[in-house]
Amino acid sequence: MKKAVVVFSGGQDSTTCLIQALSEFDEVHCITFDYNQRHKQEIDVARDVANALGATSHKVMDVGLLNELAISSLTRDNIPVSHELQENGLPNSFVPGRNILFLTLAGIYAYQLGAEAVITGVCETDFSGYPDCRNDFVQAMNNALVLGMDRQLDIRTPLMWLNKAETWALADKFGKLDFVRDQTLTCYNGVIGSGCGDCPACDLRQKGLVSYLNDKENVMASLNSK
């Protein structure tokens, strides 16, 4: 029996990964991390989306310690989400160590379940400038987990080389574009669906959707060639 664990936030990217995983694995277990994030309602959205799509299970893990250690606009309500980069070249929504922690815990959970893969929706093509969304980082984490647990594990990143238009195309390929558009939460300000329309996450998501809808045939062809 093929099993996978999806690192799941209930946003566009992780939901698209879940949709694809459900077609490839016998069991798909979702794990969502509660770190007292700014858009706290993503926990409820993740639970609703996982149930609606038929995930085998959905685990919510309390990792509030991350909030204490990592200062970011996503962990502090008094820090507005900015469109400008900080002096270090990173957006102020970057949560240092987040994906290090998430992938480590998801790897442990996969070990417990006997799952062969951990799936995460990180992307290097159209992304928010986070260093822990890059392919080199994921490969290093994968190697560390295999060495540290002495067990084969595959961290899969289905969206790594897709742009946002192609990510929308992937959801449409499985007949779930409307579901992803209307039911997921990507917005940093916690607005479900089309979002607040102002934050960087909404901007990236909306540009990708418009790009796909305006050129469906070519974007789908590009997706299918990858």
CA-nearest of 207, 155, 216, 148 to 12 is 207
d(CA 30, CA 43): 12
Angle in degrees, CA 29, 33, 35, rounded to 5: 175
Is the separation of the CB atoms in 14 and 52 below 8 Å? Answer: no
Binding positions are: 8-18, 187, 196, 199, 202
Instruction: For residues 75 and 90, give the distance between their C-alpha atoms in angstroms, rounded to a whole number.
Output: 15
User: Which residue ranges make up the annotated binding site for Zn(2+)?
Assistant: 187, 196, 199, 202
> Helix 216-224 vs helix 200-214: angle between axes, to the nearest 10 degrees?
100
**Cα separation, 194 vs 184, whole angstroms:** 9
Distances in whole angstroms, Cα of residue 30 to Cα of each of 27, 109, 162, 167, 211: 10, 10, 22, 19, 29
| Residue 172 CA: distances (Å) to CA of 7, 17, 75, 147, 175 | 21, 12, 32, 37, 5
CB distance 163 to 125 below 8 Å: yes
Nearest to 9 by CA among 39, 199, 63, 170: 39
Q: Please give the annotated binding residues for ATP, written as ranges.
A: 8-18
